[in-house]
Amino acid sequence: MYTSFYTAARGAMEEQKKMDVIANNFANVNNYGYKSKSAVFSDLMYYNLNNYRGDDTPLKAGVGIAVEKTNTNFDPSAPMTTDGEFDYTIMDDGFFMLMSPVTGEITYSRNGHFSMSQRGNLFYLVNDNGNLVLDQNQNPILVGNVTGSDNERELSGEIGVYGFDILDGMISNGMNEYVPVQKNGDPYLIRGARLVDHTLEMSGVDTAEEISRMIETQRAYSYALKMVQTSDEVMTTINGLRT
């Protein structure tokens, strides 16, 4: 009975973590370039029942589940036309490379909503978090004067689009940016990447799918709590018979 109690309690806690992931997706449903996330469960330790000699038996019991990792779906989303002079959408795979002007940390994002930021006498292309946008040579992009009949400002270099051989495991820093880990490998420049200006990639959250996940998670959470209650009632009954 103690095993069933703690297994159910563990299940309820892990389902709450899954619900937190779903809630985060809902919160970013209108965030440009956001990629939806999903919780991945793994089974905890199993052991053999009625096993006195160390043999494997067909009767097994487990001790619950745990959220092993959170996957991110990096599939491209549809672009939306905007009036922003420095709005860009990556039509295929890839990321914008960004650099923190304070720490020099390199991060990556699909959100192409950029603007100008003055530093000294120069203007740089930055994202919503104030990080510098890097060009195809991994240098910060300077914003020049207005040129041409379209009254758009000249950039010091072409915006770089970078990819990785493996996307699994990239760490989200909570600001719609990602930090690669060792298994992702080194970034490489995607030559010929299609960039569409005056557009922004919409959020990758599928509202209908998230609602289905939410209902499923709520039911699993409810069943886990019911199991906790039942286990507690059984233990109360057993303890009452002992007295």
Cβ contact 234:103 at 8 Å: no
Packing angle of the helix pair 207-242, 2-27 (nearest 10 deg)? 160
CA angle 200–183–76, rounded 5-degree value: 20
State percent of the chain over pLDDT 70.
Answer: 88
Cβ contact 187:164 at 8 Å: yes
pLDDT at 44: 67
- Give pLDDT tens digits for 151-163: 678 999 999 999 9
- Give pLDDT tens digits for 26-85: 999 999 999 999 998 776 666 666 655 656 666 666 667 778 788 999 999 999 999 999
State percent of the chain over pLDDT 90.
Answer: 63
Pairing assessment for the beta strands 195-197 and 88-90 based on DSSP bridges: antiparallel
- Give pLDDT tens digits for 103-112: 999 999 999 9
pLDDT at 155: 92
Cβ contact 45:61 at 8 Å: no
Nearest-CA neighbor of 187 among 134, 140, 143?
Answer: 134
pLDDT at 230: 86
Structure-block tokens of residue 199: 């557009």
